[in-house]
Amino acid sequence: MKEPILVGISQIAVARAPEQICCMGLGSCVAVFLYDHQMRLGGVVHILLPRAPLKVENEGKYADTGVKKLFRDMIAKGARKERIRAKLVGGAQMFPNLNVHISDIGGDNCREVKKGLKELGIKIIAEDLHGNRGRSATFDLVDGQVTIKTAFTDARSI
């Protein structure tokens, strides 16, 4: 079997079955997986931060621009809006016990991603969000399953 396409922080990838797409080390980052089951076409954006500044050089870095960019890329490759469904992974609060005030970037990322998907009319069919541990996720474009591995737990699929 071929190695999965690795998607790093702030990157976007779109591919077709039989490819797999993988995001490693999702902490406060959120991976947004979009899938058109009929086309067996899927994509992911590996979101780092919730909101973009006024001038954006990399749309994939931010939830408010990355979700829309991934959607446009999927449509450009032949996906149909009415068939696209979303799965979300990540958004952890990695250091909840620190005695300093740190914003919940993971929670902010989750809220902004959901807002963007709602604006686009994309239904979220599964999610594995929040918590305080990092995750890695592999997206199988044959069937749309996302397999998640979290430290100290068995792999599970959504």
**Annotated active-site positions, please?**
29
Q: Are 10 and 46 in contact (CB under 8 A)?
A: yes
In whole angstroms, what is the distance from residue 156 CA to residue 29 CA?
Answer: 19
Neighbours of 58 (CB within 10 A): 15
CB 85 within 8 A of CB 35: yes
Q: Which amino acid is at 13?
A: A
